[in-house]
């Protein structure tokens, strides 16, 4: 049966001489794998440019619950980025977001609310100012937890000023180790949690080192809550680029 759905490209691997297998987070079916024949060919008919990570597509797809590999009947841009694919910093942030989604989306289940959040996030990143872009990975990492079932409770106070990475809330525990963030980092996380829209990120002033520490803490937080999460490969590059 043929369905129409939007999709965000997460990863593409070569298959055979001219084909690819694309991992796509779809609005209708969740994460799916599509085999696309004849993509890696030269000439105007080539569709390889559609399958760059973070691309937002509108697709007509064949879908069967009994198959692990689906097929695409037709596709076109749902939105053509103005900056993400050409701006080095925005592209790196987008690749971080894509990798985070890859690590968290395990089952092919439709989740329209999550898809809409991710789509909106990529669209906002595309038009974001430099100040917003610098804080965008932090915002996305924190907001994504709301949709994955391990949202962070922002109960920060003068007494409870230590972020507990296992429990996902703030505590008065005085121990500082891999399970707990420092008071300074905890404060920044609390402030970032208050941002309900990317535009508010411009008001949160952080330096390069603070962003690096927060992102590392959030990587640990995800590792506690997502099985086999591992290490974010895009994180070292992000650390270097975010001023």
**What pLDDT score was predicted for residue 1?**
87
C-alpha to C-alpha distance for 111 and 64, rounded to whole angstroms: 18
C-alpha to C-alpha distance for 202 and 242, rounded to whole angstroms: 14
Torsion, Cα of 68, 233, 122, 241 (10° steps): -160
**What pLDDT score was predicted for residue 93?**
98
C-alpha to C-alpha distance for 57 and 196, rounded to whole angstroms: 26
CATH 2.40.50.140 domain range(s) in the chain: 1-80
C-alpha to C-alpha distance for 180 and 162, rounded to whole angstroms: 7
**Statement: residue 53 has pLDDT above 90:** yes
With 0-12 / 13-18 / 19 or more C-beta atoms within 10 angstroms meaning exposed / middle / buried, residue 1 is exposed
Considering the chain, what is the average pLDDT of its residues? 93
Q: Say which CATH topology domain 82-243 has.
A: de novo design (two linked rop proteins) (1.20.1440)
Tens of pLDDT, residues 93-123: 999 999 999 999 988 888 999 999 999 999 9
CATH 1.20.1440.120 domain range(s) in the chain: 82-243
Q: Which CATH number fits domain 1-80: 3.40.50.150, 3.60.21.10, 2.40.50.140, 2.40.240.10?
A: 2.40.50.140
Reported pTM: 0.94
Phi/psi of residue 23, each to 5°?
A: -95, 120
């Amino acid at each position: 049966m043929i369905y129409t759905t939007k999709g965000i490209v997460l990863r593409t691997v070569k298959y055979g001489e001219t084909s690819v297998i694309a991992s796509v987070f779809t609005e209708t079916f969740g994460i799916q794998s599509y085999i696309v024949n004849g993509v890696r060919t030269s000439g105007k008919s080539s569709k390889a440019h559609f399958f760059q990570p973070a691309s937002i597509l509108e697709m007509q797809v064949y879908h069967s619950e009994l198959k692990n590999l689906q097929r695409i009947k037709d596709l076109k841009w749902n939105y053509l980025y103005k900056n993400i694919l050409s701006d080095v910093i925005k592209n790196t942030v987008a690749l971080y977001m894509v990798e985070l989604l890859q690590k968290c989306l395990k089952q092919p289940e439709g989740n329209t609310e999550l898809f809409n959040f991710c789509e909106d996030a990529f669209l906002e990143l595309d038009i974001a100012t430099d100040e917003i872009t610098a804080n965008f990975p932090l915002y996305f990492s924190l907001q994504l937890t709301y949709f994955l079932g391990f949202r962070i409770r922002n109960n920060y106070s003068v007494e409870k000023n230590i972020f507990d990475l296992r429990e996902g809330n703030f505590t008065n525990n005085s121990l500082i180790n891999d399970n707990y963030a420092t008071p300074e980092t905890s404060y920044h996380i609390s402030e970032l949690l208050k941002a309900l829209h990317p535009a508010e990120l411009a008001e949160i002033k952080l330096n390069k080192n603070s962003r690096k520490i927060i992102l590392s803490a959030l990587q640990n937080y995800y590792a506690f809550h997502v099985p086999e999460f591992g290490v974010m490969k895009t994180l070292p590059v992000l650390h270097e680029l975010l001023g």
